[in-house]
């Protein structure tokens, strides 16, 4: 390695990086603002103090084009495109059936089922970006916590950690892996294959899962979440369902007050023409034209609509499968001065005026019996409505009802679930076999999700995390500045000097520990990009193959367990789990130490150091 004299540009770069680390860790400014500030500072620095890139035969300068190249980096494109692909799976409910099967397992053997569930999450995270996996499983773990009579704080952090551990196994398991691979190729190293680090990654993931399943829940406090109360998940609505020709309800009868196809909903009335049937209903077989009045929670109604989109006549646009197009579910409250007070739903003309249909009515004072359309509205009644996105949004300006903003929810398009699974399988297959680079496969997969109707353009745009985009671009700019000023080589020299006489295995272990600490203070993406050149230069200076050192950065940068800002999935479970900052330190620090020790023992044998 060429001995470099530190320049003032190098020290200025170090100072900017230190300031960025402090701002990222303190969260005094939004991540996007800190990232933009860092980019602006680097651009100004090297505009007024031009620097030639060492080793560039063409005499290239560290200019704006190179510093902003992170926005077009293939690794970043792959990460953002995979977010869109993952959102397609969520939007279509493609994994819902598997989730229901796992939930049922908990009724038989909670301990075994927790092991199976977290193992399945880790396995899925090896092939799907782990952020959408955590998004999918948060409501599942909340349900499991309720059935086990546990606080969600015992399950949410294990969910995040299991997903992170699974992301260590394959190249697309985490955005960190892709970023390290891209940075390594940028330094002239061979491209990292899909399963190149699967063996050590799997061993570390298994060791980590043993801790996450057996020890972590015992270290976490029992802290009840108020999320379900705030969201009103137990609130009962009176809803009315028309039995149409060809409906799966035809021929069914109520068993213990419930109809098999309407799971969990209590039947309160069956109306057939002018004849009303009250409980019990065992002798009543449903026929086309019947009206079924049920009491159900919003979650049950949403599940029934997602499973059978034509259960309710919306009167709006439908897609090519006969399902409501771009439908949204929301709750609205009847205002005290509303003109609909005292009118029944038949006379209100809600669909005519708003383009939305009323699915259910909820009144806190009492549970009503009778046909929903005969209910006379009162101030404070909550209506569950379904309609196209633009019509639901227009309810914000209504004088008759107040839109409860947090209640707005898009219905999953389950009729497109098979398409979403096919697109996802194709992306994984072509990326794993090397037919296409991951960036191209992921971008094509994102396009496939939109083209096949699994997502629309707006939903795809919302799936892209701007924090990730700006953070990665800033981190890559920092990496370019470190490399061009010689900062990466300078740090590697001092690391080697501090460990003079020590073997590559000890240097590798020390590098792992340093990266693992930094990934919890900065971010796994920024840490990965910053330390990849340092790791490669260190390996070259020691005269060993850089593969082990690059893999060490991948594994260590994924050890973002000790802080909530260490990784996005930690932030996602912080609210549902009702966690504090100290909870991550208590639960995550021992896991980092465990993974570090396991890697330090495994690496000399596996990599032949």
DSSP 213-268: HHTHHHHS------HHHHHTTT-EEEEEEE--TT-TTTT---BTTB-TTSTTPEEE
Residue 299 has pLDDT above 80, yes or no: no
pLDDT of residue 370: 65
Contact 356, 395 (CB under 8 A): yes
**346: its two tokens:** 């038949």
Mean pLDDT in residue range 561-576: 76
451-471 pLDDT per residue, tens: 998 888 888 888 787 777 787
Position 547 pLDDT exceeds 90: yes
Structure tokens at 385: 């409505």
Determine, yes or no, domain membership for 261.
no
Residue 455: both structure tokens together: 């997502």
| Domain annotation covers residue 77 | yes
- What percent of the chain has a predicted confidence (pLDDT) above 90? 16
Instruction: Name the residue with tokens 């912080």.
Output: 574
Stretch 311-334: mean pLDDT: 64
Provide the pLDDT for residue 226. Answer: 42
State the Cα–Cα distance between residues 544 and 525, nearest whole angstrom: 25
Same domain, 438 and 378: no
210 pLDDT higher than 90? yes
pLDDT per position as a tens digit, 259-272: 888 877 888 888 88
Residues 135 and 5 in one domain: yes
The b/e string for 101-124 (b: 16+ C-beta within 10 A; e otherwise) is: ebbeebeeeeeebbbebbbbbbeb
124 shares a domain with 184: yes
**123: in domain:** yes
DSSP 561: -
| Mean pLDDT, range 520-538, rounded to an integer | 78
Is 60 exceeded by the pLDDT of residue 513?
yes
Q: What is the pLDDT of residue 206?
A: 96
Q: What is the pTM of this model?
A: 0.64
How far is the C-alpha of 528 from the C-alpha of 425, rounded, in Å?
28
Express each pLDDT in 379-438 by its tens digit: 888 888 888 888 888 888 888 888 876 566 676 677 788 888 899 888 878 876 778 887
pLDDT of residue 304 exceeding 80, the answer is no
**Phi first, then psi: what are they for 363, rounded to 5°?**
-130, 120
Task: Identify the domain boundary among 410, 432, 466.
Answer: 410
More confident residue, 328 or 307: 328
- In this predicted structure, what is the pLDDT of residue 496? 67
| Of 54-63, 301-310, 463-472, 549-558, the least confident | 54-63
On average, the pLDDT of the chain sits at 80
Is 180 inside any structural domain? yes
Same domain membership, residue 68 and residue 128: yes
What pLDDT does 322 receive?
46
Overall average pLDDT of the 364-375 stretch: 67
Residues 207, 348 within the same domain: no
Q: Given this model, what pLDDT does residue 98 score?
A: 67
- Whether residues 54 and 83 share a domain: the answer is yes
Would residue 304 count as lying in a domain? no
Domains: count for the chain: 2
Residue at 553 is within a domain: yes
Q: Which residues lie below 8 Å from residue 115, measured CB to CB, with a gap of 6+?
A: 213
- The domain boundary, picked from 379, 410, 441, lies at 410
- Residue 273 in any domain: the answer is no
User: Do residue 421 and residue 440 come from a single domain?
Assistant: yes
The whole domain housing 353 covers: 325-410
- Asked if the model's pLDDT at residue 209 lies above 90, the reply is yes
State both tokens at 508.
Answer: 């590798």
Per-residue pLDDT at 437: 81
Q: Are 535 and 550 in contact (CB under 8 A)?
A: yes
Residue 333 belongs to a domain: yes
Query: Of 361, 389, 410, which residue is a domain's last?
Result: 410
Span 128-156, pLDDT tens digits:
767 667 766 776 676 667 655 567 888 88
pLDDT of residue 557: 93
Asked if the model's pLDDT at residue 288 lies above 60, the reply is: yes
pLDDT-derived band at 581 (thresholds 50, 70, 90) equals: confident
Domain check: are 364 and 221 in the same one? Answer: no
DSSP 158-199: HHHHHHHHHTTSSTTS-HHHHHHHHHHHHTTPPPPPTTTTHH
Cis before 280? omega within 30: yes
Examine the domain organization and report whether 431 and 549 are in the same domain: yes
Per-residue pLDDT, 593: 96
Report whether pLDDT(179) > 80. yes
Q: Are residues 221 and 83 in the same domain?
A: yes
Are both 442 and 467 inside the same structural domain?
yes
Q: Are residues 220 and 111 in the same domain?
A: yes
- Residue 317 reports pLDDT greater than 60: no
Which has more pLDDT, 523 or 534? 534
Q: How confident is the model at residue 103 (pLDDT cuts 50, 70, 90)?
A: low
Of 46-50, 83-87, 143-147, 269-273, minimum mean pLDDT range: 143-147
- Domain CATH code at residue 406: 3.30.70.1450
Question: How high is the pLDDT of residue 597?
Answer: 96
Specify the DSSP element, H or E, that contains 518.
Answer: helix 504-521
User: How far apart are alpha carbons 385 and 195 in whole angstroms?
Assistant: 48
């Amino acid at each position: 390695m060429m001995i470099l004299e530190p320049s003032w540009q190098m020290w200025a770069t170090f100072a900017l990086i230190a300031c960025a680390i402090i701002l990222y860790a303190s969260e005094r400014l939004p991540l996007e603002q800190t990232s933009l500030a860092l980019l602006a500072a680097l651009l100004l620095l090297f505009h007024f103090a031009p620097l030639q890139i060492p080793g560039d035969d063409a005499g290239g300068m560290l200019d704006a084009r190179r510093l902003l190249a992170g926005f077009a980096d293939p690794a970043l494109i792959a990460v953002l495109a995979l977010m869109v692909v993952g959102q397609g799976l969520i939007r279509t409910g493609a994994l819902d059936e598997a989730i229901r099967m796992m939930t049922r397992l908990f009724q038989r053997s909670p301990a075994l089922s927790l092991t199976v569930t977290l193992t399945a999450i880790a396995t899925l995270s090896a092939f799907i970006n782990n952020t959408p996996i955590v998004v999918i499983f948060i409501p599942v773990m909340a349900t499991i916590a309720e059935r086990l009579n546990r606080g969600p704080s015992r399950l949410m952090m294990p969910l995040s950690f299991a997903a992170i551990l699974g992301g260590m196994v394959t190249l697309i398991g985490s955005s960190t892996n892709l970023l390290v691979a891209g940075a390594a190729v940028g330094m002239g190293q061979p491209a990292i294959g899909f399963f190149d680090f699967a063996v050590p990654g799997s061993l570390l993931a298994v060791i980590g899962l043993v801790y996450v399943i057996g020890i972590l829940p015992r270290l976490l406090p029992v802290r009840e979440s108020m999320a379900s109360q705030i969201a009103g998940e137990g609130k009962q609505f009176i809803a009315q369902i028309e039995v149409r020709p060809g409906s799966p309800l035809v021929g069914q009868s109520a068993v213990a007050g419930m109809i098999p196809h309407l799971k969990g909903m209590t039947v309160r009335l069956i109306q057939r023409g002018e004849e009303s049937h009250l409980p019990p209903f065992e002798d009543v077989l449903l026929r086309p034209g019947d009206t079924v009045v049920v009491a159900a929670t919003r979650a049950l109604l949403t599940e029934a609509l997602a499973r059978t989109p034509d259960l309710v006549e919306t009167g709006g646009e439908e897609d090519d499968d006969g399902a409501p197009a771009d439908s949204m579910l929301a709750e609205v409250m009847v205002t005290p001065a509303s003109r609909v007070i005292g009118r029944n739903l038949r006379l209100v003309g809600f669909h005519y005026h708003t383009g939305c249909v009323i699915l259910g009515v909820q009144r806190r004072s009492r549970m009503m019996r009778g046909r929903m359309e005969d209910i006379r509205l009162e101030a404070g009644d909550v209506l569950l409505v379904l309609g196209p996105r633009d019509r639901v949004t227009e309810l914000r300006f209504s004088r008759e009802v107040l839109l409860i903003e947090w209640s707005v929810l898009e219905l999953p398009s389950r009729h497109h679930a098979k398409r979403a699974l096919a697109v996802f399988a194709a992306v994984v297959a072509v990326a794993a076999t090397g037919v296409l680079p991951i960036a191209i496969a992921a971008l094509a997969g994102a396009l496939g999700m939109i083209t096949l109707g699994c997502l629309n353009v707006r939903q795809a745009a919302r799936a892209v995390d701007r924090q990730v985009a700006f953070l990665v671009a800033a981190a890559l700019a920092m990496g370019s500045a470190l490399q061009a000023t010689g900062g990466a080589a300078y740090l590697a020299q001092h690391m080697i000097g501090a460990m003079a006489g020590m073997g590559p295995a000890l240097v590798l272990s020390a590098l792992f520990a340093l990266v693992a600490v930094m990934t919890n203070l900065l971010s796994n993406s920024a840490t990965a990009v910053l330390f990849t050149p340092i790791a490669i230069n260190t390996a070259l200076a020691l005269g060993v193959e850089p593969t082990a050192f690059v893999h060490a950065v991948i594994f260590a940068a994924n050890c973002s367990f000790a802080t909530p800002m260490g990784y996005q999935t930690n932030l996602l479970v912080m609210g549902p789990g009702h966690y504090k900052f100290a909870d991550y330190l208590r639960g995550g620090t021992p896991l980092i130490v465990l993974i570090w020790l396991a890697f330090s023992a495994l690496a000399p044998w596996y990599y032949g150091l």
